[in-house]
Structure formats: C-alpha cells, structure tokens
Amino acid sequence: MSQALFGLFFVFLGAGMPIFVVLGLTAAVLLAADGSSLLLLAQKVLDELNSELLMALPFFGMAAVFMQRGGIARALIDVSAAWMGRLPGGLGVVAVAGCTIFAAIAGSSVATALAMGTILVPAMIQRGYPASFSTALIGTGGTLGILIPPSLPLILFAIIAEESVPRLFLAGVVPGVLQALMLILFVIWTARRKGYPPEPRMSRSDFVRVNLKALPAFAVPVIVAVGIYGGFVTVTEAAVLAALVAMLVGMIVYRGFTLAQAPAVMGHAVRSAASIMVIIAMALAFGHWVTESGVPAAVVDFVTRNDLSAWQFLLAINLLLLVLGMFLEVASIILIAVPILMPVVTALGIDPVHFAIVIVVNMEIALLTPPVGLNLYVLSSISKVPIGEVIRGIWPFIALFAVYLALITYVPALSLWLPGLVYGG
C-alpha cells in the first residue's frame, strides 16, 4: 500500500494539481480503497482543526500582514541602518538585520522577504549591488521568519508532536542569531571582495530620531515574549494581541493605512490564513491515513532492522527533506513528515525540540531551492528581476546553508541550551 501511496501522490502532483487537492484526494482514494468511512475522516479532521493552539496560526499571519502593510518595515530598516550601515556592504548588512528584526515580529518567511524586499532590493540595485545578489540575500534573510519566534512552522510541529510551544520558540533563538551572524559575515566578506560601499554616516540628531521612531515597532515581539514566557497569556492569546497591536501601530503610529482601509488589509490577512488552514486540513486527512496504515511503524522497523544510528538517520532525513522541499510547501512537509518520523526520533533518543529545529532549517532551504523556492519567486515578482537571475544568485547562500545545517544537526546544544537554561532539563 505504501507504493500506492507514493505513486498516487506523485501522479496527482505531476498533473499540476494544487497541493491541498493532492493531499486530500490521495487520502480520500486510499481510505475509500481500505473501506474506511470518509464521513468519519471529515469529522476527525474538523475535530483536529478545532484546536485553540491552531488558532494562533491565522492571528500571527494577520499580524505579519499588518506589519507588512503598516509601514513598519521602513522603520526597522532605518534603525538597522543607524546601527549597522557603516559596515562594509552596509545596505546588505542592513537587509540581514532588518529581516532578523522583522522575523521576530512576523513569524512568516514570505511576509519578511516581501516587506524587506519591496524597499531594499531597488535601493541595493541603485547602490551598485547586482540584482542577483540583492534578491538572493533578502530571500535568504527572509527565511529567518520561520525560525525566529514566533515561528508558524514551530507551532505546527508543536501541535503534531505535542511539544511545548515556548520551548520550541526558545530553541529557535540561538540558531536564528547564528544564521543572521553568518549572513552578515558573508556580506562583509563579499563586500570587501567586490567593493560594495558602506552607507553614509548618520548625524546624531537623525540617529536619535530614527531610534525613537522605531520603538513602537518593537511592541509586538515584546508583547509576545513577555506574555508567553512570563506566563501571562497563552500562545493563542499572544497571537491575538500581536495582531491587534500590529494593526494599531501600523494604522496610528506609522500611518501605513487608514481606518477605512483596515477592512481590506484584514481581508487580505484572512484570505492568507484561510489558504493555510485548507492545506492543514487536507494534510491532516493525509496524515490520518498514513498513521492508520502503519507507515510510522514500518519506518521504525526499517531503521531498527538496518541498525541506523541517530547521526545516520538525521543525515538521511536532511537529504529526504531537501528533495521534498524542491516540490512541496513548508506546512505540507511538516504535516506529512512529522507523524511518520516522530516514532523513530523517540526510538533513537533524539530530543524532539532539537529535531524540530533541524526540520525548520531544512524548510528554510526549501524556500530557496528551485523549482518551488517560494522566496525566490516572491523576490522575482516584486523586483521584476528574472527568476533565472535570482536562482543564479542563490547558490552561494545554499552552500552557506549546507554548513549551517550541519552545525544545527550535529551540535544539539545550539538548539537546546536556551530552553534548558530557562526551563531546565
């Protein structure tokens, strides 16, 4: 039956069907073939969707849209330039810093790449940076949106694996900072070789003004961090507060949209959230069949029979996720792979929090690898740079990511130190 699963899945995918149709149709056909009730499946999926934690996803997504539309990105770019613009390759360094800060607000890779790229790609090209380098850099920096908390994929992982969201969020902090530092050092090294200039020195009055103007933008990450880790609110309540504060800051402080435009912005946010929820619903149906058919047990049996060690298993998973990431969307991969792989993770004694970060870093690479590479197409669309040119610029960053992935995979302390420090264990 597993051969039928993969055969049917790739036939539907090759036919060009949307991923939610592929997942739902594959599950329906295989369950019907097994004589299972599709009505019971629908009821089970609806029950699983009726999860308080799952409600955090659309609200964090809504916060990202309000931040993107509310002019907050410009304030974050300006404050990054004030502190880091004088470094070699100043505007490139500013791009990485801006992506890092926006990621701590948005929880979304696409929103981060879109918000930063809209402003910075034209500016970088005007300052003499190649279009391929500019788009690839911001696309890579944008992937921080799914690693640095509040990360939507980490919330998904928490729901499926029944892990603590605060622990997972903390686990993403050190790897996120490490990724940002690696990108900044790469930009500085490239700038010295290519002669990319630093930004002009900012006057003291402008420095103070820019920093004061950026302060309201930090309200969202502060509310999320203090609320969750202080135990004042649940993750879902923090998401609702983040969306509300992002709307008020974008509308009142930065005047990115008016009260009359707020419903249209909210409508865009709701449509984005709805598309994610449809994929999740179909992936849950698919995952239900996978679990019922005994695929996870078969995978555990395969690993134990072949005496695979933890490091060999993680290497195989990295290669598998690299291939899946070329064709599937991030949420789909997590919803399909995690139920299958978690029994093996438990059997091999791998910490599930560490494993979650390994998966998310693989998903970052998935956002950059053709032919899907969502961040590449987002940057190509907003900058009008041909997709082929964007892809040419991404390969040095993929090579950098390979080194980074090896570090995250085989040095678990990078993921586990901060959660252990805060929560113990």
Q: Model's pTM, two decimal places?
A: 0.88
Condensed to tens digits (0 to 9), the pLDDT of residues 8-36 reads 666 776 676 777 777 777 777 777 776 66
Instruction: Say how far apart CA 181 and CA 150 lie, in whole Å.
Output: 19
Q: Residue 4: what pLDDT? A: 59
Average confidence (pLDDT) over 356-365: 95
Average confidence (pLDDT) over 39-54: 73
The residue range of the domain holding 157 is 2-423
Instruction: Say how far apart CA 334 and CA 362 lie, in whole Å.
Output: 10
> Dihedrals φ, ψ of 124, to 5°?
-65, -40
| Residue 297: pLDDT over 80 | no
Condensed to tens digits (0 to 9), the pLDDT of residues 200-212 reads 888 999 999 999 9
Quick check: helix, strand or coil at residue 283? helix
Instruction: Say how far apart CA 425 and CA 419 lie, in whole Å.
Output: 8
Residues written for the chain: 425
Q: Is 369 exposed, middle or buried (0-12, 13-18, 19+ CB in 10 A)?
A: buried
Q: Residue 269: what pLDDT? A: 74
150-170 burial, b if ≥16 CB within 10 A, otherwise e? bbbbbbbbbbbbebebbbbbb
Instruction: Say how far apart CA 363 and CA 330 lie, in whole Å.
Output: 6
State the average pLDDT for the chain.
85
- The two tokens of residue 173 are 């902090």
Domains in the chain: how many in total?
A: 1
- The two tokens of residue 372 are 């899907």
C-alpha closest to that of 179 among 393, 360, 395: 360
| Residue 425: pLDDT over 70 | no
